[in-house]
Structure 1
Amino acid sequence: MNYSILQKIIGDLENFEAEKASGEVSMEDFVGFLNQKYLGRILTPQPVVTPPENEENNIGQLVAFMYRYAKSYIKKALEESTILTLDDFGYLAAVWQYGNLTKTQVIEKNIHEKNTGMEIIKRLIGNQLLEQYDDEQDKRSKRLKITPLGQAELFKSFDGMLKVSKIISGKLSDTERLQLFYLLNKLHNFHNPIFLQEKDTSIDNLLKKYF
């Protein structure tokens, strides 16, 4: 047995666990961590036509572009559905997957501001895809459940949305998809607590706190 490789893996695992100190770790996440660390050393670098002046700006722009690409594909996939938008799909899927959530829980799972989320919920209730009812524990709160019509429309949309997912992933290799998933999930885990807990914190204060 090559113990030097085993020692290196153990060292990488310790570094990975230290990085993920606040959350659970999985084999998939660890493999993604290893891919990120070592894959770039063995893959042939792709030529860059114009060196980016600011990597952060370019990342932000490309993320925005990917959202717009996805939005255009999803619009095609939902052309004949009562589900009108990606937001409609996300809200229905959340209620179906997690059970009878409160309105606030559904909005937070979909990463929306409260006013935007309430408009989406109102539209889905109006289209008879969701129903609301009083929370037995908190009479000020409303919970949501998916209607039979909502579930039927959601299930009908799955095939089209799977096709969209395939197109969005492009022609990435299995390794590249795993690496991309790891990086996107890492960014999600960084931003989600900020979104939920730092709503009133200014950009300058966020930079001071996290960077």
Structure 2
Amino acid sequence: MSHTSAIPVLTAWERFCHEQPQGSLREFAGWLLNHLDPLRQTPALPDSEPIMKSGQRLSEAFDNEDFLTHFYIGRLGRYAKSYAKSILAEHGFASSDEFLFLSLIARMDQPTKKEVCIANATELTTGMDILRRLVKNGLIQETPDERDGRAKRLSLTDQGQTMINRIYGQFEQIPTSVLADLDGVERRQFIQTLKYLNNYHFQFYQP
């Protein structure tokens, strides 16, 4: 079995240590992805960021990481919604949240209404309105909880399951992935980061 030389890695490590003397191995891994991958060297499109009155792009004018994170995650969410918008509208969904609710109910074990709202990080009032529409449209059904007569358990109807399968099939035909042309390692790292942030903030979330 042939072995690739470790010299490029050691050279990169020396450069990283020079730039960030206190950096850790974990930070080095992220640095490699952000500095040595040609994809990361591609200039941003001229209209991908708003230009400030100073002439700088938004990411150059703001050094507040929380603000920039909110900006980019918000934009990414809107891009994702735009790819699915026509498909969901075709099937009568008023918003992507309705489809997200339906998808989770399909995978969860007969959740209660509150459990679905919490899983989607949606305010209870808004979530209940969404669930009522799904029931009205014949996509989900309610059954009494055997242990708590006051609670209702949710599941998909046959119509709801057919709808889910049809839409998933159409999603697979969308030519543009939300994760663009990131490779397998980058995709897993990105999802792992999102998962970490979700778990971290969930402890403070109040539906």
Q: Same fold (TM over 0.5)?
A: yes
Q: CA deviation at 1:164?
A: 5.1
State which drifts further: 133-142 or 78-87.
78-87
Q: Distance in 1 between matches of 2:27 and 2:178?
A: 21
Q: Does 1:80 align with 2:90?
A: yes
Of the candidates 146, 157, 163, which is equivalent to residue 167 of structure 2?
157
Letter in 1 for 2:140: L
Count of aligned positions? 165
- How many Å separate the matches in 1 of 2:175 and 2:192? 16
Do the aligned partners of 1:70 and 1:164 also contact (CA within 8 Å) in 2? Answer: no
Q: Aligned with 1:167: secondary structure?
A: coil
- Deviations along 1:122-151, one digit per CA (max 9) or x if unpaired, are 000010111112212111211111111111
C-alpha RMSD of matched pairs (Å)? 2.6
The Cα shift of 1:80 comes to 2.2
1:117 matched residue in structure 2 = 127
- Partner residue in 2 for 1:133: 143
Counterpart of 1:133, as a letter, is T
1:1-150 counterparts in 2 under 5 A? 37-41=28-32, 43-44=35-36, 46=41, 50=57, 51=60, 52-150=62-160
- In structure 2, the residue matched to 1:203 is none
Q: Which has the larger radius of gyration?
A: 2
- Superposition deviation, residue 35 in structure 1: 6.5
**1:187 has 2:197 as partner:** yes
With over 3 angstroms needed to count, the CA separation of the structure-2 counterparts of 1:110 and 1:164, relative to structure 1, is: farther
Aligned-partner SS, 2:194: helix
Alpha carbons of structure 1 residues 132 and 72: separation in structure 2 relative to 1, 3 Å = same
Structure 1, unmatched stretches of 5+, are 1-33, 201-211
SS, match of residue 203 in structure 2: helix
The AA in structure 2 aligned to 1:190 is Y
Alpha-carbon distance change, 116 to 108 in structure 1, aligned in 2, over 3 angstroms: same
Give the Cα separation in 1 of the matches to 2:67 and 2:144.
45
Q: Which of 1 and 2 has higher RCO (CA within 8 Å, sep 6+)?
A: 1
Distance 1:107 1:80 in 2: 25
Return the letter of the residue paired with 2:141.
E
Shift of 1:100: 1.2
* Match among 173, 185, 197 for residue 175 of structure 1: 185
Which blocks of at least 5 consecutive residues in structure 2 are unaligned?
Answer: 1-24, 45-55
Among all aligned residue pairs of Structure 1 and Structure 2, give the percentage whose two residues are the same amino acid.
Answer: 29
- Provide the rounded CA distance (Å) in 1 between the counterparts of 2:174 and 2:67: 26
